[in-house]
Amino acid sequence: MTKQDARAEATAREEEAKIFSAPAPTDAAVSAARRDSERLAPAKEWSFPLPRRNDRGVVVTGDGGAAAKRGDVPYGGWARDIVADVARRDAVRDATRDAYAHYEKYAFGDDELRPRAKLGKNAFGGLGATIVDSLDTLWIMGLSDEYGRAREWVSRRLSFDVDRDASVFETTIRVLGGVLAAYDLSGDEMYINKATNLATRLKPAFATASGIPYPIVNLKTGRAKHPGWAHGSSPLAEFGTLSLEFVSLSDRVGDPRWSDLAETPIAKVQSVRGDVGTVPRGLYPMSIDPGKLKWSSGAVSFGAMGDSFFEYLLKTYVMGGRTRELRGWSDMWDESMRAMLEHLVFPGEEEGTKYVAEWNGRAHHKMDHLACFVGGMLVLGAHGSDMEKEYVAAAAEITKMCYRMYTSQPTMLAPEVVSFAKYEKENGGTPRGRRMVNQVNHNLQRPETIESIFYMYRKTGDPMYREWAWNMFCAMRKHYKTDSGWAGIKDVRRDPPTNDDTMQSFFIAETMKYMYLIFADGDVIDLDEWVFNTEAHPLKVKPRRETLVPPYKYS
């Protein structure tokens, strides 16, 4: 055991003692919190679907892998017979309930909670982002009362007829993805009506010569534009992270126009994939001029501005049942992964660790925490590939490096960005991997490392990954939790740290959901039946036979 591992476990044991010795919230405390939130109909009067539990008291989310066993959808090579760690699972659920209760108390209806100010803030058009982002988490965890109040707010209060500019990307992944996932879990038609209304208001953004959408659209007027900082270019991750949601909507309402909107940009990008200058073939620059279909950047990143484009190449294929007709998506993804492994993945200082660099004319040895999703993505795409062993091995090494981003800090929480120092020589003259160095020291409650740990655990069943997750959860509970909400921290090097003033909507949508699922039974969100969008909203796998993205051969 390394010194870092020993310190992480000691910190976890200290916090664990507090978790399991603390009394459960009393009914009176919960009732008091509810009185401070918007008071809607009591649970006994709700007429819409609520989470259904099996004989083990666990919320049912599909048929537990039966679809793959019948051959209706492909088997993804996941570990079988994963049994819940009930105590730790319930500790994560209780923490989520605590965080959400503070949002209800101080910011219900606003996009996010400011815990220190005990106020709400609206960074995503005032569309109740935390409520919509939390719907499926509340459902999966069986928090029926909280889910019921959230559902009622969406039904009665959520309106897209607002004169506000909205990010097409953020609104799609958080709000459109959130209501579609809630529909897939519950079958509640109200969500489909909301999804169709929202998609209709996002549609004007796609009215460009190439079909690559403007990044911003006014939900009321339909006026679309580029932000000033983009200088007329469209970021890769923004226009390339729409297909899961729009394809799902097309399937649910039987209208192919929605999937066509999201697939057209990918087909256009595929057509110019060879015109990337000095960028290695298979990798895609971070922005493109949508009018000229010319790349406007020579930089490549699996972090900010690039990340989820690559994620959605794979997940659109997986969500479509990995059918032969959708091989164009997997061809693009597989070519990208081979190029990434060849040009951007390097060994870290510790044996068994690797990191994902960026590209700007040559490899730039910097890694955003955002890029820590790569381990999980490689695992998801590995099964059935002729690169399966290489993908799983790289996934394990990248995930370990991302875990080290946590255990190397005094707070046991990762910085936002790290870089890697030049190679050093051991005594024998043999080069060793690069040493990790902090670059940006705040922590925003991000989910990407726990996401990859989740996929590694579901793939291998190795209990080590549950231990890593628990160590991370204990550090989060110790440092995020305040008397008025859970907040990120300003500097991971300082223990005790100072909290910032935001509880990110993705903290409940992603970080806590993945954390809960690691400790849950393996048939809770079976990965042969569900695909997570980039905001961790689960969408049903349904085989598809048509796409605008053609297959191709690459070398």
User: Residue 33 and residue 35: Cα distance in Å, rounded?
Assistant: 5
Coil/strand/helix, residue 53? strand
User: Residue 554 and residue 543: Cα distance in Å, rounded?
Assistant: 25
Q: Does the annotation mark 184 as catalytic?
A: no
Tokens of 437: 């160095």
Name the nearest CA neighbour of 213 among 178, 245, 253: 245
Please indicate if the annotation marks 96 as binding a ligand. Answer: no
The helix (run of H) or strand (run of E) holding residue 481 is strand 481-482
Tell me 469's DSSP state.
H
In DSSP terms, 309 is beta-bridged to: none
Tokens of 245: 């949601």
Coil/strand/helix, residue 539? strand
Name the nearest CA neighbour of 467 among 374, 550, 549, 400: 400
Name the nearest CA neighbour of 367 among 402, 393, 403, 411: 402
- The one catalytic residue in 416, 491, 526, 529 is 416
Sign (positive/negative) of CA torsion 456, 461, 466, 468? negative
Coil/strand/helix, residue 489? strand
Coil/strand/helix, residue 225? strand
User: Residue 422 and residue 365: Cα distance in Å, rounded?
Assistant: 9
User: Residue 100 and residue 443: Cα distance in Å, rounded?
Assistant: 20
**Tokens 């039974």 belong to residue:** 521
Q: Does the annotation mark 152 as catalytic?
A: no
Residue 448 CB neighbours (<10 A): 25
Q: Does the annotation mark 15 as catalytic?
A: no
- The one catalytic residue in 170, 263, 331, 334 is 170
- Edge-to-edge strand order for the sheet containing 417-420? 366-368, 417-420, 436-440
User: Residue 451 and residue 510: Cα distance in Å, rounded?
Assistant: 8
Residue 298 · residue 358 · CB < 8 Å: no
Rg for the chain, CA atoms, rounded: 22
Q: What is the dihedral of CA 539, 49, 31, 131, to 10 degrees?
A: 30
Tokens of 512: 């806590």
CA distance between the termini of the chain: 43
- The one catalytic residue in 133, 146, 397, 448 is 448
Buried b (16+ CB within 10 A) or exposed e, 506-516: bbbbbbbbbbb
- The one catalytic residue in 136, 238, 307, 510 is 307
Residue 74 CB neighbours (<10 A): 17
Residue 110 · residue 38 · CB < 8 Å: no
Query: Where would I find the H helices in 187-300?
Result: 189-202, 236-239, 243-253, 257-271
Q: Does the annotation mark 448 as catalytic?
A: yes
User: Residue 296 and residue 184: Cα distance in Å, rounded?
Assistant: 38
Tokens of 117: 């100010």
- Edge-to-edge strand order for the sheet containing 299-300? 299-300, 358-360, 363-364
- Mark the binding-site residues for Ca(2+), compressed into ranges: 534
- Mark the binding-site residues, compressed into ranges: 534
For the annotated catalytic residues, the residue numbers are 170, 307, 416, 448
